[in-house]
Structure 1
Amino acid sequence: MNRLLQRQMERLFGSVDSAPPELAPLLAVVSDAYDGFDADRRLIERSLDISSEELTGINQKLREEINERRQAEEKLKHSVSLLTATLESAADGILVVDRQGSVKGFNRKFAVLWQMPDSLLQSGNDEQLLSFLLDQLADPRTFLVRVKQLDSEPAAESSDVIRFKDGRVFERCSKPQFLGEDIVGRVWSFRDITERVQAQERQNRLVQELENTSHRLELVNKELNDFAYIASHDLKAPLRGIRTLADWIVTDCADQLSSEGKEQLHLLLNRADRMRDLIDGILQYSRVGRVKEDRVRINLAELVPEVVDMLAPPENIEITVRDELPVVEFERTRIHQVFQNLVSNAIKYMDKPEGHITIGCSDDDGCWTFSVADNGPGIEEKYHEKIFQLFQTLAPRDGYESTGVGLTLVKKIVELYGGEIWVKSRLGEGSTFFFSLPKMQEEPQNERLQAGTAG
């Protein structure tokens, strides 16, 4: 019993035990009231004892806690805003589901990629969403099987390609979503790779077409080989017979022939020789790029004089090498043919009593530029392209032994090895033929070789 109540009872009844029993419940309630009053009184006394300095400290601490909580809330809002902006700016469509497969969120790109209508976006119905997605797929059953498999393996990651009925192609990736060490859901990402897949399919078709073309070119090369055999044997054999017979008639029956008959026989011999040279030229042209030699280092300062000596120019024609010629890596026969044809043409068509032919070379930004200049008749500008075409010649065929193959052969060799050829000339003032060759030669590709052969 409360002590204050106890003293009052003792004054009234002498002792607490002398109080009437029926007052016991009332006394208990009054005692509890006195006890509550004492507690409140002590709390008030304690509050009065707290100094103003302590109150200031408590208030400051409360303000700091409130400020820290506000800052934490602002940081949380910023993080959520940043995450949302990141998801919305992602190039991929993102879908997030929980462990039960319920949709927890997706970005705008996901809705755009899957062409979701606004009514579906606003419905929030997961079953309708899944049905809408599956209806677009070319193989929805396989996709659904994969989804269920991942649901049964929460920690699994996977990626594959899904195709749509309308021809679109998506790259699909799926990874578990972690909260600390716990898996709380799954993140799906979708990327439209339709253009990339279509480009790859086009490339595959082109590769197949190239393989087919390559096969056809192999057949063409075989036919050219057969033609070369026929030209070198079946065509040359009767031609040799005709020339031998004509030569025998000229030699043994000269006294029985009139001057006109002799002239016709000599013309026949010249044309037989021209036909032989034409066949040889065609064979040489067909072999370029098809019949290959080893590429070796060739000192042109030694090769060019050999070419000149072989051509044996007449005494009225002077041939000089103006510049120092380099060492190149080339097929020896091919580079020999280039200089031989250019120099022999300059000799053949020289129309001046004193002919001058000059061979030069310059170093031009990664390539050598060679030149063969003469003071011959020159070429009209309108023929500067025509002279490089097969069987094209500007001089009368009976006046000059020309097949019209030489410059075409030179052009094919030079271009096959990454160079160019051109001419500068003025009628009556001579001509200069230029051709360039890269310093670092790369092995010609099969396609270029075959294309060159087929041409």
Structure 2
Amino acid sequence: MDTFAGFLNNAALMLILCVVYDTFSVSEISKKNLRDSLTGILVGLICIAVMLNPWPFEHGIYFDTRSVLLSLCGLFFGLVPTTIAMGIAGAFRLYQGGSGGAVGTIVIVVTACFGLAGKHWKDKNEKSLNCMQLYFFGVVTHLGMLSCMFLFPAGLRNSILRESAPPVLLIYPVLTTIIGLILKKQEDRRAADSKLLYSTSLATAALESTPDGILIVSREGKITRWNQRFVELWNVPQHLLYMTDNKQILAHASSQMAGPEEFLAKVADMYEHPEQTSTDILYLADGRIFERYTQPQKVGNEIAGRFWSFHDITEQKKADESLQMMRFCVDHAGDSMFWVTSEGRILYVNEATCAGLGYSREELLSMSIFDLDTDYQPGVWAAHFEELRRRGNIILETRHCAKDGRIFPVEVNANYVHFGIHEFNFAFTRDITERKRALEERLKLEQQLLHAQKLESLGVLAGGIAHDFNNILTSIIGNADLALMRINPESPAIDNLRSIEIAAARAADLSKQMLAYSGKGKFVISNHDINDLLEEMLHILQVSISKKAVLRLNLTRPLPPVEVDATQIRQVIMNLVINASEAIGNKSGVIAITTGCMDCDNSYLKDVWLDENINDGLYIFIEIADTGCGMGKETLAKLFDPFFTTKFTGRGLGMAAVLGIVRGHKGAVKVYSEPGKGSTFKILLPASGKPVEIFNHNTRDDYWKGSGTVLLVDDEETIRGIGAEMLKELGFNVVTANDGQEAIETYKARADISFVILDLTMPHMDGEQCFRELRALNPAVKVIMSSGFSELEVTQKFVGKGLAGFIQKPYKLLALRESIVGLDLEPK
């Protein structure tokens, strides 16, 4: 009984150890070294306590539960506490002395080592020991303890084993199991607390590290948790965070809102519907903008409260607004803009790009730069991008291809942009078609001006030379003539004098051409009909050209007269016709001479060989076209230069004289020519007034005048020009159209048109269809049909359709007046 009483006493001390260890929260000490040291000291002190209450076997030999204590210390607390406890217990046992002192100390060491071995196994397998494993551990440990008894003499050893082995093997393992379960429970609880603490720390760290302000409230509205960011965003006083309800903190928050009523209504709605989730935008009175998110907080399936999150998006909104403004500016910029990758793939284009190329944005974003720019294919692009990377900015010219196949020149301002590991080309492009055209026109105008100045200078020089030359020739011819009169008819020098006279006459002709080139030749000005001049010259022209060339006259009648020197104009026509014949050469060809009149504006006159002060207006033209060899650009550039010729025996003054004569008449020359396709020379001479037929007529309606506006529709420019002059003579204002479609648009646009003179045969929309369209617009419209066909043939098409009149081409002023009088208009 004493033995069992001693064991129970020792077991009570062991339980006290567990209670003390748990009560004083030794395990919660954060510093590991301090915690291990205190644990080892505590276990060592308990060992002393149990050794002071032993079960004595004989003097100097004691049994107690220190083996249980030290083995469990090694199993649950580890090396440092066990070593400390082992040192304290061993020292005290040696201090006690007796015959069992040394063996008792060895028992302390052995049982502690068993405990450390058990911990190593437990940690390695990461397993928590169960009840049976603890019991087995107790049996093994105390078998080891009993094996130490073999260190005593045999007689004493047998006595000890016989006396102590049954209670040791029966009670100590059970005690080890009970105390081990208690320590295991404490260890499991500490591990759970540690995990909870770790999870809580993680949650707290996550809560504090988020840039959002977080607020968690219970279902009743009491604040249960928040982070520092929430306090900073809303400037919340600390005392409001510990209120039992949320009324005051809601009032504090709503006072900062631009719309407090809407804010409070949304919060109330969320509390009324605790299962809802919501995201919205809050606008604060100080200009800040928050994104608010809320969702129910659940514990299992039960709603325990509500989670609120507030994210300050003020800068993001400002950035978005700036981005939208920039995108608006980019999309509405006049220039095209591209974002292109280093591989040439298109990432972004603005609206100007889509409009300029004819593609939609979706189509362009699926394309590469190689689809638009044939000059920059992958090999060239790689070198280009490398240069762009090196220089940062490149301005260049290239060509882009639109969706409709149109290829046009562009100026590209390429910029290298580097974001992280990505490289881009941000390029501005501008269609420079008009710039190039304007540049070409300016250069052409400068060349024309320079050429005109050169010709003017050469003209002055040629005029001066011709004047002095004529003075010298006068002396030569006069003296030669006198010498012929005075010399003996039989003299052999007569032939020499006649040769001098012939050569002087040729030189005089050359002088006349030089004066003609200078524009200062002797002009005898009078009114002439160009058609009459050509008909008079027809025979001499026919005999002057090659037998294989066919001469055709296409004369427009009537034409306004021109104030010209008939002799000089004949020379111009003769020079151009002979040149045309020589251009045809030995091949068969056609020389066509066409006359007409036309209104010339500045845009038409900018491409002519002209005096720089030539004015727009009504011009008579003589067009001489051939099917000869034509001329290249180099020849055209020097065509009117004095002494320039492509003929073997030419003097190079024929075309120079043509230009001089035309310039002297305030006219101009327009030239069209291509190698192998022939040449066309159009001589423009200012009309002097009304057509010839206007001046010599005498009828009962000579003084009839109309008023109002007339729409004259004809595809022939000459007809429109002369027709408009006749109508103006009759007192009308005139608007013209060159085909039926333009006539319809003009008639729609103007409400003051009194009647229409309509050509029957025109491209696009003929007179018959145009008449129907006009009648559809205005059933009362008055239309005079004009045609080269007979009146009977034309009027049969319009029987019963409301045609007001008919006039047959070519017509004179009298016929036109009579057709208009037949409309029963109010005379002026």
Shorter-chain TM range is: 0.3 to 0.5
TM-score (norm 1): 0.38
TM-score by length of 2: 0.22
Q: Say which structure, 1 or 2, has more relative contact order (CA 8 Å, 6+ apart).
A: 1
Which has the larger Rg? 2
